[in-house]
Amino acid sequence: MKIALLFSGQYRPFNKELFQKSLNNLVEDINYSIFSFSWAETSRSLTYSENNDQIEKLPDIENIIQDIFSGFNLVNYEIESFEKFKDNLSDQYVNILNSKEFHHGTINSLPQIYAIYKSYKLLLPLISNYDLVFRCRFDSLFIHPLRIYDLEKLRETNNLYNINFGRAFNPCRVYDIFFGGSIKATYFLKDIWYKLPRFVFNRYDNYLDKRDSCRLIYLAALNNNINTKSLNTRICDVYRMDKDLNYEKYIIKSHITRFTLNKSSFLIFLYLYKWFQYRKISYYYYLIWIFKSFLVLPIAFLKRLKYLKMQTK
């Protein structure tokens, strides 16, 4: 089995050793190739500020991409100017990008989905060589190997898999930081960019902003009759480059696994502990954060009640 990993989006510099340790976790004992699309600029995350105008050029971005993937199987990559991307947008896309009708926090949805689409285009000439495709971000840290999942099942079921359980559960979205599946399940990405406006203005309501990328990817898959399913573990999340332990704390608080009895649900705790050892985080925090996450589980289940109506539509 051969797996294509599509890294896409904006590169925000952080510790190379940490990134590569995480990537080693992800690709352990699998046959994989990496395809990368990145912007030539970087900026501060909207998590920190609502100001999205502080764009900074990365003159060495090509060397950076080659460096961070050094020792890994980087097959192809592309770099594009974000400023030129905006300048070349048609009026329809410009109106969506600049509209005040949508929540400010979704302003990056269009360039994000464009970047995913572009990374998939890099794969297309070689797609017949692969069995599974997964979208990744440059600023995710991977806690455990991809191989702890039943990869044969993921290929055969033709569902689109993502991380959709726990505190941020929504049955009708695709959490956009990490998702994938078989060639059939991901083939809708080949033209998602051109169909995007129709998904933005689709009347479908899943309690997310209409410009939210998680909503748009879900609708694009649904439009191609692709079902979405959740993986059993929180293999990764977005790393905000914190100097403290916020990443590890957040990933546990968001719930580290679904309540399913299978191999991956048990192995995640072993790999999480190894990650804590690598990061030199006290075993005390490992236990106390997991304990607290179990305490708030009833709240997470109560939040699901509002989705019952949505699921019966």
Question: Mind listing the pLDDT tens digit for each residue in 36-45?
Answer: 999 999 876 5
Q: Are 15 and 144 in contact (CB under 8 A)?
A: no
In sequence order, what are the residues at sequence separation of 6 or more whose Cβ sits closer than 8 angstroms to the Cβ of residue 261? Answer: none
pLDDT the model gives residue 54 = 66
In sequence order, what are the residues at sequence separation of 6 or more whose Cβ sits closer than 8 angstroms to the Cβ of residue 36? Answer: 6, 7, 8, 65, 69, 74, 76, 77, 78, 119, 122
Instruction: Report the run of H or E that residue 37 belongs to, with start and end.
Output: strand 31-39
Integer Cα distance of 269 and 190 in angstroms: 36
Q: Are 166 and 254 in contact (CB under 8 A)?
A: yes
Q: Across the chain, what does the average pLDDT equal?
A: 90
Q: What burial letters (b/e) apply to 248-269, b meaning 16+ CB within 10 Å? A: bbbbbbbbbbbeeeeebbebbe
Single-letter amino acid, residue 273: Y
Pairing of strands 160-162, 228-230: parallel
Which residue has better confidence, 310 or 95? 95
Domains of the chain (ranges, CATH numbers):
2-240 (3.90.550)
What pTM does this model have? 0.92
pLDDT the model gives residue 271 = 94
112-125: per-residue pLDDT in tens?
Answer: 999 999 999 999 99
Between helices 16-27 and 263-278, what is the axis angle to 10°?
A: 160
DSSP letter at 178?
A: S
pLDDT at 67 over 70: yes
170-228: per-residue pLDDT in tens?
Answer: 989 999 999 999 999 999 999 999 999 999 999 999 999 999 999 999 999 999 999 99
**At 100, phi and psi to the nearest 5?**
-85, 0
pLDDT the model gives residue 212 = 98
Integer Cα distance of 62 and 72 in angstroms: 16
Q: How far apart are the first and last CA of the chain?
A: 37
pLDDT the model gives residue 95 = 97
pLDDT at 262 over 80: no
Integer Cα distance of 33 and 74 in angstroms: 6
pLDDT the model gives residue 288 = 86
Residue 47 pLDDT grade (very low, low, confident, very high; cuts 50, 70, 90): very low
Residue 290 pLDDT grade (very low, low, confident, very high; cuts 50, 70, 90): confident
Residue 46 pLDDT grade (very low, low, confident, very high; cuts 50, 70, 90): very low
pLDDT the model gives residue 48 = 39
Q: Strand pairing partners for 9?
A: 38
pLDDT at 169 over 90: no
pLDDT the model gives residue 44 = 61
What is the average per-residue pLDDT within 123-142?
97
Residue 274 pLDDT grade (very low, low, confident, very high; cuts 50, 70, 90): very high
Which residue has better confidence, 222 or 167? 222
